């Protein structure tokens, strides 16, 4: 097996922990900050990313032996854009309210670094099974982080989760948690906790 190739087990472990996109690779931070005001939006964004990741990884893996180096990026973008458009149209047709709530962030999946990174790092070098599993694992890892952050922000900002009250009546909602500052603070704390857990330290000059 070439050193560029990976296994199903490594792909799953990578997507769910060792290379979890938001917390370890620091990829996909824009949607992480933008759509985590509620768990429903975070879950929808996560599912769309899973769909796009799996489909684009499969498409790239299928054409991997035909790819010419100078056409590589344009081919990845073509595949990703097609699947993002399908996801966007699906939401507009079947989940119109969620589609409006997520606004431009669904079409912006096209420029989400996770997708093109997985096409380049995994799908362009591996078979269909590994590429599909890698896409699904990365997508699930991304979705878990999004939902975790969204649940913290939604509870603190509104006292509810999925629209159901979970805090006592005396709870005073923190409006700031629904704003960008809440996204930065909660993501920063989560990254700090993960670094603490994994023993990662800042490099010294």
* Least spacing, CB of residue 158 vs other proteins, in Å: 9
Interaction of residue 183 with other proteins, rule CB under 8 A: no
Interaction of residue 175 with other proteins, rule CB under 8 A: yes
CB atoms inside a 10 Å sphere around CB 172: 7
- How far is C-alpha 140 from the chain's CA centre? 8
Q: How far apart are CA 41 and CA 47, in angstroms?
A: 10
Kindly state the helix (H) or strand (E) to which residue 161 belongs, with its residue range. strand 160-161
Among 100, 163, 188, 200, binds other proteins (CB under 8 A): 100
Which is closer to other proteins, CB of 81 or CB of 191?
A: 81
Among the listed residues 40, 44, 33, the one whose alpha carbon sits nearest the alpha carbon of residue 186: 33
Q: How far apart are CA 23 and CA 54, in angstroms?
A: 20
Interaction of residue 179 with other proteins, rule CB under 8 A: yes
Interaction of residue 16 with other proteins, rule CB under 8 A: no
Interaction of residue 157 with other proteins, rule CB under 8 A: yes
111-130 footprint of other proteins as x/- string (CB under 8 A): --------------------
Interaction of residue 94 with other proteins, rule CB under 8 A: yes
Q: How far apart are CA 160 and CA 181, in angstroms?
A: 19
Among the listed residues 136, 94, 89, the one whose alpha carbon sits nearest the alpha carbon of residue 115: 136
Chain residues 29-88 in contact with other proteins, contact rule CB under 8 A: 37, 63, 66-68, 70-71, 74-75, 78-79, 81-82, 85-86
* Least spacing, CB of residue 129 vs other proteins, in Å: 22
Q: What angle do CA 139, 162, 85 make, to 5 degrees?
A: 40
Give contact residues for other proteins (rule: CB under 8 A): 37, 63, 66-68, 70-71, 74-75, 78-79, 81-82, 85-86, 89-90, 92-94, 96, 100-101, 103, 157, 175, 178-179
């Amino acid at each position: 097996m070439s050193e560029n190739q990976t296994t199903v087990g490594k792909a799953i472990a990578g997507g769910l922990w060792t290379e979890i996109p938001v917390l370890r690779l620091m990829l996909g931070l824009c949607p992480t900050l933008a759509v985590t005001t509620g768990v429903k939006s975070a879950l929808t964004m996560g599912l769309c990313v899973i769909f796009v990741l799996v489909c684009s990884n499969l498409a790239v893996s299928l054409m991997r032996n035909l790819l010419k180096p100078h056409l590589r990026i344009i081919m990845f973008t073509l595949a990703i854009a097609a699947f993002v458009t399908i996801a966007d149209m699906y939401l507009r047709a079947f989940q119109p309210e969620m589609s409006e709530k997520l606004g431009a962030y669904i079409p912006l999946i096209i420029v989400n670094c996770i997708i093109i990174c997985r096409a380049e790092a995994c799908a362009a070098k591996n078979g269909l099974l590994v590429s599909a599993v890698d896409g699904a694992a990365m997508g699930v890892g991304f979705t878990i982080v999004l939902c975790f952050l969204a649940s913290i922000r939604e509870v603190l900002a509104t006292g509810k989760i999925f629209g159901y009250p979970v805090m006592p009546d005396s709870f005073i909602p923190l409006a700031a948690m629904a704003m960008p500052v809440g996204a930065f603070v909660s993501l920063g704390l989560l990254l700090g906790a993960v670094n603490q857990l994994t023993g990662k330290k800042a490099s010294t000059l």
